[in-house]
Chains A and B, each alone.
Chain A
């Protein structure tokens, strides 16, 4: 079992963005630089994070420089929740 936030985010991406509910996404798998999550889906991901964790990810942060993996996104969420 990993971090519950990472697991929930992985589930959201595989079910809602990739539409492959059984697809497993590793915590260190590249999401943006690999093209797995496109710019449109990134906005959906930001809205999901905002709705579920009360953390705002700014429009200027939706890029690989801010986070490229689930582990990095989870760390960003936890940092802002603290």
Chain B
């Protein structure tokens, strides 16, 4: 999100929160989110892709809704209005191609309307299948999960991305010679994919309540959190959305001087201002001296290398935490409390506590859908595997997956492994020390020393891990490690 995006979203949120009667708020949020998906999408060198990516995000969401819809649910008037709004707004965005100077919401001209209608027809067929034949969901839900995972692997793996770019270029009559992995910047897909996977897995586990079409689409593509999270759970988000958009007129017309509305405004505004400061002042300031692949080869001094590394550690935190603050503030203005993503992570005294406070919604997602079921399986089957082996396998595989979520490359795998091994070491250390060092609790001075030592070690371990994250190759990362330790 650029500053312009944020300012426009702030204006929209203010209008939605203050001027739109709450029974209309849901529709305005849905419409704003649909348009935002197109407006946020950056340009791509492949023709029409900056229209197709946002359209695919929306259609994937709609198909997921159809596949996870409760069989008893009858088509409601609200559902039909929501569907009309989605189709109508996509058509408006597509028709801007013919609007002359008013063209376009997307970075380049959308494809001609007949192609858009053709894709609509195919999507309508896919949506109709699970609605008309509920039994097909048994195959359709796993198929969507595999499709999302396949797309995820394609977008995150440079080699497959380049190959897909070549194919798309040739299909569209463009030269394949300039194909590059960076040709496929599908904005927001990482977060959308994890929201939809959560819905699909909860559906399979029988834990998904019935959702209205419009509220489901709003959950998946909600404009404050579309690009950088947090990854909310649908049950929590939609519960909030329903209380922010009551249908009763008596609840819809709260006066402007209502204390709850004023508190909402102050809390949201403070959060947005704090977020803007973190992102555009602190993080962008630190970016000037933060570690990157250029200064990593230029700096030879050990001291300066540590300065670059600490600057990077602080920059990445303030950048991400700043975006989260902005998202939470924008959502607060429209009456929705998104979950927190950070809780002073760099002040924690061990790595386990760090991962309970850094990118919390992503870590919770991986715990809920990978670590917990995997560990439960290993523990409950009485497989006769030593406990420490289960802990090692569970921690390492979870952190490797979290690393690969950022990109399927060796440097992200190394970053994940660094944290997996770190978490395992901390687990073993606390297991070993718990009974031996229990006397420390009664000695405040020693407890303070241990707390400071724990923080110092943890922060530096995390900072050293960022070397893998910041640099594109392992060779360069190893060179930086040598420089940091004067080797």
Contacts of A40 in B (CB 8 A): 375, 390-391, 394-395, 427
Which chain A residues numbered 46 to 74 have a C-beta less than 8 Å away from chain B? 46-47, 58-60, 62-63
A29 within 8 A of B: no
Cβ-defined partner of A60 (8 Å) among B202, B375, B430, B431: B202
One digit per residue, 1 when the CB lies within 8 angstroms of any chain B CB and 0 when it does not, for chain A 24-59 equals 000000001101001110111011000000000011
Given contacts A18-B434, A40-B391, A60-B202, whether A35 and B376 have CB atoms under 8 Å apart is: no
Nearest residue, chain B, Cβ from A63: B364
A8 within 8 A of B: no
A19 within 8 A of B: yes
Please state if A62 and B367 are interface contacts (CB–CB under 8 Å). Answer: yes
CA distance A32 to B205 in the complex (A): 25
Which chain B residues numbered 428 to 486 have a C-beta less than 8 Å away from chain A? 430-431, 434-435, 438
Contacts of B181 in A (CB 8 A): none
One digit per residue, 1 when the CB lies within 8 angstroms of any chain A CB and 0 when it does not, for chain B 343-371 equals 00000001011001000000010011101
CB of A6 to closest CB in B, whole Å: 21
Contacts of B373 in A (CB 8 A): 59
Please state if A19 and B431 are interface contacts (CB–CB under 8 Å). Answer: yes
Contacts of B380 in A (CB 8 A): 47
Contacts of A43 in B (CB 8 A): 372, 375-376, 379
Please state if A62 and B368 are interface contacts (CB–CB under 8 Å). Answer: yes
Please state if A58 and B207 are interface contacts (CB–CB under 8 Å). Answer: yes
A78 within 8 A of B: no
Please state if A63 and B376 are interface contacts (CB–CB under 8 Å). Answer: no
CB of B460 to closest CB in A, whole Å: 19
Cβ-defined partner of B352 (8 Å) among A19, A38, A58, A59: A38
Main SS of chain B's interface residues? helix
A80 within 8 A of B: no
Cβ-defined partner of A39 (8 Å) among B367, B430, B435: B367
Main SS of chain A's interface residues? loop
Nearest residue, chain A, Cβ from B202: A60
Nearest residue, chain B, Cβ from A62: B372
CA distance A23 to B438 in the complex (A): 9
Please state if B427 and A38 are interface contacts (CB–CB under 8 Å). Answer: yes
Please state if B202 and A20 are interface contacts (CB–CB under 8 Å). Answer: no
Please state if A35 and B356 are interface contacts (CB–CB under 8 Å). Answer: yes
How many residues of chain A are within 8 Å of chain B by beta carbon? 20
CA distance A58 to B376 in the complex (A): 10
Between B350, B353, B375, B394, the greatest number of chain A beta carbons within 10 A of the residue's beta carbon is seen for B375
One digit per residue, 1 when the CB lies within 8 angstroms of any chain A CB and 0 when it does not, for chain B 377-400 equals 001100000000011001100000
Please state if B352 and A60 are interface contacts (CB–CB under 8 Å). Answer: no
Contacts of A39 in B (CB 8 A): 352, 367, 371-372
Given contacts A19-B431, A35-B350, A47-B379, whether A59 and B372 have CB atoms under 8 Å apart is: yes
Contacts of B371 in A (CB 8 A): 39
CA distance A40 to B435 in the complex (A): 19
Please state if A63 and B435 are interface contacts (CB–CB under 8 Å). Answer: no
Given contacts A23-B438, A60-B202, whether A35 and B379 have CB atoms under 8 Å apart is: no
Cβ-defined partner of A19 (8 Å) among B353, B356, B368, B435: B435
CA distance A7 to B56 in the complex (A): 53
Contacts of B427 in A (CB 8 A): 38, 40
Contacts of B379 in A (CB 8 A): 43-44, 47
CA distance A16 to B435 in the complex (A): 12
Contacts of A58 in B (CB 8 A): 205, 207
Contacts of B438 in A (CB 8 A): 20, 23
Contacts of A60 in B (CB 8 A): 202, 207, 233, 368-369, 372
Please state if B376 and A20 are interface contacts (CB–CB under 8 Å). Answer: no
Please state if A63 and B352 are interface contacts (CB–CB under 8 Å). Answer: no
CA distance A70 to B371 in the complex (A): 23
CB of A67 to closest CB in B, whole Å: 14
Contacts of A19 in B (CB 8 A): 431, 434-435
CB of A35 to closest CB in B, whole Å: 5
CB of B29 to closest CB in A, whole Å: 24
Contacts of A35 in B (CB 8 A): 350, 352-353, 356
CB of B404 to closest CB in A, whole Å: 19
CA distance A43 to B374 in the complex (A): 10
Nearest residue, chain A, Cβ from B375: A43
Contacts of A18 in B (CB 8 A): 434
Which chain B residues numbered 266 to 308 have a C-beta less than 8 Å away from chain A? none
Between A20, A39, A43, the greatest number of chain B beta carbons within 10 A of the residue's beta carbon is seen for A39
Contacts of B369 in A (CB 8 A): 59-60
CA distance A18 to B436 in the complex (A): 11
Known: A19-B434, A58-B207. 11 other contacts (CB 8 A): A20-B434, A38-B430, A40-B390, A40-B427, A42-B372, A43-B379, A59-B368, A60-B368, A60-B369, A63-B364, A63-B368
Which 3 residue pairs of A and B lie closest in terms of their CB atoms, listed nearest first?
A59-B372, A60-B368, A43-B375
7 contacts between A and B (CB under 8 A): A18-B434, A19-B434, A35-B356, A38-B352, A39-B372, A46-B372, A60-B372
